[in-house]
Structure 1
């Protein structure tokens, strides 16, 4: 059936309309597509260009060289050595396990090393290089470099690791560094990206820790081009890291070595301070340890040997240890009484061997008593009863105030770990901390440096420096950072009358230089080098009435941990003081027999700048002294491996 003209005309019109609609739709779609392409290619061109660059360019951190530490003379005591290591960037590896096994066929890796590497790869960001092996030999590093094309994500590197050329001598002062741990990250507020680098070394103890900010430096970056499998093709540019600052301490390497050698075999501490500047010349603590063991990863056996040693080699006894000062505290009590006008230097007090107070006997160390004692002789012979009497006249508040004036009971701001504040008690302190009222017996015990009084060797050295100069000397360990000097510790005048200080100094002179002085046996024979001092013995146990009745046990008859601590403080030369010293020998027995000989040797070494000359000793002692000095393991500056100079 033929269609009419009208139907044909309507059908054509319909087709035309549909064509126009479809054409319009297609044109609109093409327009939208064009607009989208323009948006992507023009408007967002920079963003996609950056994304493309990030796919082929890797940004990597460049760890800085850690600042070095020198002694006062510019000798190196903490430096850096080359360390060959291998790192892996997880983001560039498809199968880390396969790469680890391939690497283990090239270099020595134990199963523990492999597991540690897996753990680090799991914990760290895919974009942070993880140290898989370090302290490799040059041959092992070469093996990795030659096989690098078959080890995606692996990079052989030459880095730096900490080195302590003087070993144990500065272990307690400088401390040591170690890899950043999760514990470190949890307590450090510093968000430095360097801390996220596995095995990045930071200061753990000592000056390394306290001066971490100055020593660490600033990270640099490098941009490298990588191929499809993550292999580095070329370096495109870098911003160099900034080396950490160099630090100079006030200690003297030669003297520090002598101090450590002289303390060997003891559980002891010694501090030498320049009385005119406050510079800490030596800070000894024995036994010590080799800090290099911690840098390299100390073994369980070596660490156990340190922690199980009853002499506690990891503790810095010079600043952490607190001890009853014993008779070295008597100068404090005497000055408090003199300033309060409760006594004159010539006034005498009778010592019959004990003082009876509140129906209790307080004994003198000399059972039969000393007879009449004035200030000078009370120091010279260390009469306890004399100071029991002063304590009743002066009272604990004035004694405590004088102790603080002389530098006791203060935590000094020196860059070492766990610096102790000690304890100078008052009535209020006992009430608040012990829940008891102060009694007269507390004052008598405190007057002779027993009871609640606790001091550190550092504080005792400061006290002695103040007695030698009548100035508020403060200790200084940090000499300079990058050549910029820190303030002196000379201090302002104490305000004590020169006559009172003179009386104390005269008594200390008698202790060390006159017959019947408690340190006369360890006197210095050279008048130009003579030392004034004070011995001390502090009890660590109570002596019962029964024991006194049958005879007090001698220290050598007691177990080591029940023996008295031995102490000595002094300054020299007496005519123009330059150095002050404190020595504490834990459970050493008597201060005159255990601590004074050590103090004499160290003070002579400080004054002469080397091994003490035999001519400075009494002639009758020179043979024995010579044999003892020859046995010391002293540093030879001309020997191979001696510390480098800053110059």
Structure 2
């Protein structure tokens, strides 16, 4: 059937419109694509070029060199030492077990380290290097290098690791470093990328931890070319990082070593402080441990031996340990009374051997009593009744306020770990802590450094330094950073009546230099080095009425952990104070018998900047002192110095 020409024209018009629409749509799409291609190729070219470059070039961090730590005379305390290790790359090694077997025939491999390396290889990409052996000797590295053609995938490398040449002498002060752990990262809100470098070391305790930001430095970076699988092909450029800052401490390493040796195996602590500047010349906790054990990860056996030791070698007793200060606290009670005008230096108290307080009998250490005693005799003979009576008149709040002025009950800002605050108790403190009222018996106990009163060896040394100088000296541990000295704080005048301080100093002088003084047996007889001091003995158990009636059990007959703590504080020379010393011997017994001889030896070692002459000791002690010195120097020849050659 022949179509009508009009129908044909209509159909042609419809097809033409569709073609135009379709062509227009195609043209629009091509135009959009062209515009997008122009936008991407021209306007966004730099962005895509950067993305392409990042696919080809990686930026990798270079660990910074950690700052080193020195003593006040420039002796190295913490240093960076070369550490040789052997690296294996799984994809280059081929048969890993066979290659490791060849390495094992050349050097000794730790089976546990080998297992660890194999486990790490199984969970890592085949092209990533894994440490097979760490801290190997130069001889082992040489054997591996010579046999390199037969050891595919094996590479010897050298890096830096921390080393503490003084061993345990500074373990509680400087601390140690160790690899970054998941726990370390969890404690940081935004960890720096450098902390994710495998086996990167950071400070864990002590100065290493507290001054981490200074010691760590800034990481460098290198640009390396990698292929599509991420394997490094070559290094394109390198930017070295900034090394960490070097720190110089106020401590004299030789004196520190001597104090450590002198404390021996005692569970004890000793602090030597410069009375004029607050510089810590020695701060020692005993027993100690070797911090080098922790640098690469301590073994389970070694760690258990430290944690299960009854003398707690991991604890820093100088700042972390807090003890009832015993009779060393009596100067605080006396100063509070003198400043309030409640008692004069010649006023006396009758001591019959006890004092009745609120229906309870508080005993003096001397069962028969001391009779009439004034301020000087009360300190010289350490009469307890005098201070019971004094404290009841003064009140606990005034005594504690005085103690805080001298540094007790405060946390001092030093770059050390777990610094304890101690306690100078008040009425409000007891109610807030226990919900109980303060009792008059609490005041009597506190007056002689028992009851709730707690102080660290650092605080006792600071208290003594402030008594000696009359100034609020501030303890200082870091002397300089990168050779720039940190300003010390000699402290302002204590604002006390100079006459009252004079009376306390004279009484402390009598403790060591009067025949009836409790520390007369441990005196210094060189006139220009004589010391002022105070003995202390703090109870760790209650003595019952039945035991008093039957006779108090001697410390030597008690288990070690039931014996009294022995304490001693002193400063010297008396007429020109240079050093303040505190010694605490846990469960040592009496302060005059145990702590005082140790403190005297330490004081003389500090004053003479080395071995003191035997003429500084009483004649009766010289043979014993000489034998002890010879024994210490045989065991620790590195601590022997005559003061003219401190290095």
Match of 1:634 among 633, 636, 641: 636
Structure 1 alignment gaps of length 5 or more: 1-5
Superposition deviation, residue 105 in structure 1: 3.9
Give the 5 Å matches for 1:173-184.
Answer: 173-184=173-184
Write the distance in 2 (CA, Å) between the matches of 1:198 and 1:636.
Answer: 36
Aligned to 1:550: 550
Contact 1:76 1:644 in 2 (8 A): no
Aligned to 1:607: 607
Aligned to 2:564: 564
Aligned to 1:508: 508
Give the 5 Å matches for 1:289-438.
Answer: 289-438=289-438
Deviates more, 1:606-615 or 1:457-466: 606-615
Which SS does the other structure have where 1:636 is aligned?
Answer: helix
Superposition deviation, residue 368 in structure 1: 0.5
Superposition deviation, residue 158 in structure 1: 2.1
Q: With structure 1 as the length reference, what TM-score do the two structures score?
A: 0.89
Superposition deviation, residue 485 in structure 1: 1.9
Contact 2:354 2:362 in 1 (8 A): yes
Which SS does the other structure have where 1:419 is aligned?
Answer: coil
Contact 1:279 1:489 in 2 (8 A): no
1:511-541 per-position Cα deviation (integer Å, ceiling 9, x unaligned) = 0011010000011111111111000000000
Structure 2 alignment gaps of length 5 or more: none
Deviates more, 1:127-136 or 1:618-627: 127-136
Give the 5 Å matches for 1:98-247.
Answer: 101=97, 104-105=100-101, 107=103, 112-113=112-113, 116-117=116-117, 133-138=133-138, 141=141, 143=144, 146=148, 150-151=152-153, 156-227=156-227, 232-247=232-247
Which SS does the other structure have where 2:479 is aligned?
Answer: strand
Contact 2:611 2:640 in 1 (8 A): no
Count how many residue pairs are aligned between Structure 1 and Structure 2: 627
Question: Is 2:444 the counterpart of 1:444?
Answer: yes
Contact 1:254 1:635 in 2 (8 A): no
Superposition deviation, residue 634 in structure 1: 3.0
Aligned to 2:533: 533
Superposition deviation, residue 125 in structure 1: 10
Aligned to 1:3: none
Write the distance in 2 (CA, Å) between the matches of 1:602 and 1:494.
Answer: 27
1:279-312 per-position Cα deviation (integer Å, ceiling 9, x unaligned) = 0000010000000010032111111111111000
Contact 2:379 2:508 in 1 (8 A): yes
Superposition deviation, residue 137 in structure 1: 3.6
Superposition deviation, residue 635 in structure 1: 4.4
Change (3 A) 1:105 1:367: same
1:432-452 per-position Cα deviation (integer Å, ceiling 9, x unaligned) = 111211111100000000001
Superposition deviation, residue 74 in structure 1: 1.1
Q: CA RMSD in A?
A: 3.4
Question: Is 2:547 the counterpart of 1:580?
Answer: no
Question: Is 2:57 the counterpart of 1:61?
Answer: no
Write the distance in 2 (CA, Å) between the matches of 1:51 and 1:127.
Answer: 23
Write the distance in 1 (CA, Å) between the matches of 2:149 and 2:23.
Answer: 62
Write the distance in 2 (CA, Å) between the matches of 1:49 and 1:127.
Answer: 26
Superposition deviation, residue 223 in structure 1: 1.1
Aligned to 2:593: 593
Write the distance in 1 (CA, Å) between the matches of 2:604 and 2:298.
Answer: 37
Contact 1:106 1:140 in 2 (8 A): no
